[in-house]
Amino acid sequence: MKIIMLGAPGAGKGTQAKSIAKKYGIPHISTGDIFRANIKNGTELGKKAKAFMDQGMLVPDELTLDLVMDRFAQDDCKSGYVLDGFPRTIPQAEALTAALAQNQETVDYAIDIAVPDEAIVERMSGRRACLTCGATYHVVYNPPKKADVCDICGAALVQRDDDKPETVQKRLTVYHEQTQPLIEYYEKQGILKQVDGTKDMSEVFEEIIGILG
């Protein structure tokens, strides 16, 4: 079962991807993890990716696709995978479709976790993090026992720059411009399934399981 996860930043696709991977015994693949693993292992593709990342540049689509296809070739992907964070644009999606077709393969499901922008902003701007031990909280959904203090280690909690409303809004603008067109792309292929991401995480997961069977 080959699955692509879609959704805006903060929609919860990473969390759901991990749950799907665990239930079906298939790997959860994120491009960030692939980059880190290849760089750590000093592979040729990793060295190429690192050269771009060290200059603060995005890894080119062609190289990212090579890294993704290399990951698909590993033994644990024989029964499928959950791909999270790629493709992000139509050219990436078209390149992935073409690369899979060369191996007589196709994606089975593209699952879009739909959440309105205002709910995303509320979710992400309410996040608080402990920089000392890495624990995360939410001022509404998962507040610490004492305001702005980590339950675990007692350090002060902070709002990461990525979670500030203005930053979240910018990320959403980029998402709507670049990534949302993928919804129509996979809809045309007949593999798009949408779930309501505003529900409780367990309910969203149950809805996804209902689709995958």
pLDDT tens digit sequence for 128-168: 999 999 899 999 889 999 999 999 999 999 999 989 999 99
CATH number at residue 14: 3.40.50.300
Q: What's the pLDDT at 186?
A: 98
Residue 72 located in a structural domain = no
* Number of domains the chain is built from: 1
Q: What's the pLDDT at 191?
A: 98
Q: What's the pLDDT at 195?
A: 97
Residue 14 located in a structural domain = yes
For 15-71, what is each residue's pLDDT tens digit? 999 999 999 999 999 988 899 999 999 999 999 999 998 998 889 999 999 999 999
Mean pLDDT, to the nearest integer, of 77-84? 96
Mean pLDDT, to the nearest integer, of 189-204? 95
Residue 202 located in a structural domain = yes
Closest to 176 in 3D by CA, of 17, 10, 3, 9: 9
Q: What's the pLDDT at 11?
A: 92
- Give the rounded percent of residues in the chain with a pLDDT score beyond 90: 85
Residue 207 located in a structural domain = yes
For 7-17, what is each residue's pLDDT tens digit? 998 899 989 99
Q: What's the pLDDT at 168?
A: 92
**How many CA atoms are closer than 13 Å to the CA of 210, on its beta-carbon side?**
10
Catalytic residues: 13, 88, 127, 160, 171
Residue 53 located in a structural domain = no
Q: At what angle do helices 61-72 and 31-40 cross, to 10 degrees?
A: 80
Q: What's the pLDDT at 57?
A: 86
Cα Rg, the chain, nearest whole Å: 18
Distances (CA, A) of 72 to 6, 96, 161: 19, 11, 34
Residue 135 located in a structural domain = no
- Give the rounded percent of residues in the chain with a pLDDT score beyond 70: 100
For 95-136, what is each residue's pLDDT tens digit? 999 999 999 999 999 999 999 999 999 999 999 999 999 899
Q: Which domain holds residue 15?
A: 2-26+79-116+168-212
Q: How far apart are alpha carbons 41 and 30 in whole angstroms?
A: 17
Closest to 26 in 3D by CA, of 2, 61, 9: 2
